[in-house]
Structure formats: C-alpha cells, structure tokens
Amino acid sequence: MSILGHRATDINVSTADFCLILGYLCSPGRVGLIEAQIPEEKAFIFERDFPGEPYYPITQGETTGGNMMKQGCQLRIYFLNTRNCPLVLQPHLRTGVGKFTKRINRGLFIEKIVKHYGFSFGEHQNVTAIRNTVSRLHPANVIDFDRGYNL
C-alpha cells in the first residue's frame, strides 16, 4: 500500500534503464537530498512504512497567501548537478530550488527506490547497499547500474 495519493507517478522504463538511473543517482555529488514532506495527520503512516527515516511535517492551515497548505505527501529528489544525465531520465527532471539545479517529483518512483532498493530520505545514500540490492534483484543489469554510476 502506498502513502501517496492517486495522482502520484512513477518512472516507467525498462529494467536496464531503471538500473542505469539508479546508478546515475548514486554518483558522488549528484543528488543533494531525497525529501519527504508529510502532512501531520499522515505522519503515523509514513513512520510505519519508513521507520527512522527523516521527513518534514506539514502543519495544516493556510499559507501566508491565504491558500490551504499541502494536503498530500510530497516525495522529491533534489539534484546538485545533472551533468551527463541519461536521456531516459531527462523528461522527468523539473526546475530545482535554491542550490539544487533540478528535481524529480515522481512520488511512486521515489517510494519504490526507498522501500525496495536501499535509498534513504535525507542527504546520504549507502551506495554499496544500493548496488548490492540491484545485484540481487537484477543481476543481469549490474552493468547498467555501473554505467549510470560512471556517467
């Protein structure tokens, strides 16, 4: 079961391209932050599904502009740089904020890589654990992971 709503999207690509993207995300200096913004009333679900993972709570109310605060969970990957970005990933990149050059807003994709591939919310990733997971789940595609890592 997903913490995300019905409008959440994934990145649907071949297994080879998926592993290439995972390797690319693991390249040193590439990703600055994998972020979860969670409405306070859904925090218990997030904490159940992602024990010990950091998140930003969204307090309900109105923004300074008089609009409602975000109602749904928001998962994002923020990039420090996107040099040599694989073509298969480029359509999924959006404008970054602050020091981040680009970002990915595909919540189902982010949920999947955190739940099943060893990625973590926050600033630091265990590349060895991620590569080992790819090796276990997609042994024929470790070469694609390595190719993405070395871009």
pLDDT one-digit tens code per residue, 91-109 = 999 999 999 999 999 999 9
Query: What's the pTM value of the predicted model, to 2 decimals?
Result: 0.90
Secondary structure of residue 73 in the 3-state scheme: coil
Tell me, what's the pLDDT at 63? 65
Residue 143 identity (one-letter amino acid): I
Task: Indicate whether 35 pLDDT > 80.
Answer: yes
Sequence-distant (≥ 6) Cβ neighbours of residue 91 within 8 angstroms? none
CB 134 within 8 A of CB 142: yes
